[in-house]
Amino acid sequence: MAEASTQARPAIERVGADAIRLERVLAAPPEKVWRYLTEAELRRQWFMGGMDAVAGGEFELLNDHDNLSEEDVPYPESYAPYKGRTWSEQVVRFEPPHVLATTFQGGKNGIVTYELFPEGEGTRLVLTHSGIESPTGSQDFGSGWTSHLAVLEEKLAGRGVRDFWALHARSREAVKAALDN
């Protein structure tokens, strides 16, 4: 468990009035990263439960972050109302193992597109979240994606995150600073 490698790294930019983009280089080949994006059991280890994607398929996205921390940490009060909530999502683009796009929050907050590019022995992941309706969405979703991608990096490296919510708090501050510039 290497907490130092899960420091909040914003690497985020606005790419439109309703869109943000994050990039990470992950220490795993595209096929392995693809599995973590599309297989429900692997996806719930770094993000939210639900997927086993197929082109045009639907899936339930389950908000349950208890499994993201290695320690037993409580949900922050501000996030507790979302625990256990599900959204019906749809796969809108499916090109294994290079492009996956899904609706987000039942389509109410746009589309999330994951693009995978081989980079050496790893993968460059470009995540674009477009169609964000919430007025605080760039900050909120940017913080969430920054935190979840840090967990994905750790899982792909065979490690875990001690306290997801502490990581998320650091992400909020780093993303705010990055987006305010």
- Dihedrals phi, psi of 143, to nearest 5 degrees: -65, -45
Q: Give a yes or no: residue 8 inside a domain.
A: no
Q: Give a yes or no: residue 147 inside a domain.
A: yes
Please give the order of strands across the beta sheet that includes 58-62.
Answer: 12-16, 19-26, 122-130, 111-119, 99-103, 86-95, 58-62
pLDDT tier, 3 (very low <50, low <70, confident <90, very high otherwise): very low
Q: Give a yes or no: residue 19 inside a domain.
A: yes
- Number of domains comprising the chain: 1
Q: Give a yes or no: residue 50 inside a domain.
A: yes
- Dihedrals phi, psi of 122, to nearest 5 degrees: -115, -160
Structural domain span for residue 139: 15-108+122-180
pLDDT digits (tens, 9 = 90+) for 83-115: 888 889 999 999 999 999 999 987 788 999 999
| Neighbouring C-beta atoms of residue 111, cutoff 10 Å | 18
pLDDT at 151: 97
Is the pTM higher than 0.85? yes
Measure the CA–CA gap between 96 and 105, rounded to whole angstroms.
Answer: 23
Instruction: Say if residues 134 and 140 touch (Cβ distance below 8 Å).
Output: yes
Which tokens go with 168? 């998320």
Measure the CA–CA gap between 92 and 58, rounded to whole angstroms.
Answer: 9
pLDDT digits (tens, 9 = 90+) for 26-77: 999 999 999 999 999 999 999 988 887 777 788 988 888 988 999 999 889 9
Q: Give a yes or no: residue 169 inside a domain.
A: yes
Share of the chain above pLDDT 90, in %: 61
CATH code of the domain covering residue 39? 3.30.530.20
Q: Give a yes or no: residue 21 inside a domain.
A: yes
Q: Give a yes or no: residue 115 inside a domain.
A: no
Instruction: Say if residues 28 and 50 touch (Cβ distance below 8 Å).
Output: no
Q: Give a yes or no: residue 38 inside a domain.
A: yes
Q: What is the DSSP letter of 49?
A: B
